Amino acid sequence: MIVGVARVMLHDQGLPLHLWAEACNNVVYVQNCCAHRILGMSTPEEDYSSKKPDLSHLRIFGANIYMHVTKDARKKLEPTA
């Protein structure tokens, strides 16, 4: 199930298949933040710590990100991000 969901995520976002491990990690993380029937519709984290998990940091898998490239790592006319 984990690999199947990761495959769908990679194909949906048009990402290369070498990112399969990162996709699998993402699937497991999100599943652990979701409610489970066996736990009485609470999340594993909520069951363990009695606190609801904060999900405000989650982003769409495969979303664009930008990283700053330091001055010493780029040439004069190369992009800074």
Of 61, 55, 8, the residue nearest 33 (C-alpha): 55
Whole-prediction pTM value? Answer: 0.68
Name the residue among 36, 35, 30, 37 with its Cα closest to residue 5: 30
* pLDDT tens digit sequence for 29-56: 998 888 888 988 888 888 888 888 888 9
pLDDT digits (tens, 9 = 90+) for 10-31: 998 988 999 999 999 999 999 8
Measure the CA–CA gap between 22 and 75, rounded to whole angstroms: 31
Tokens for 29? 């993380």
Average pLDDT over residues 69-81: 72
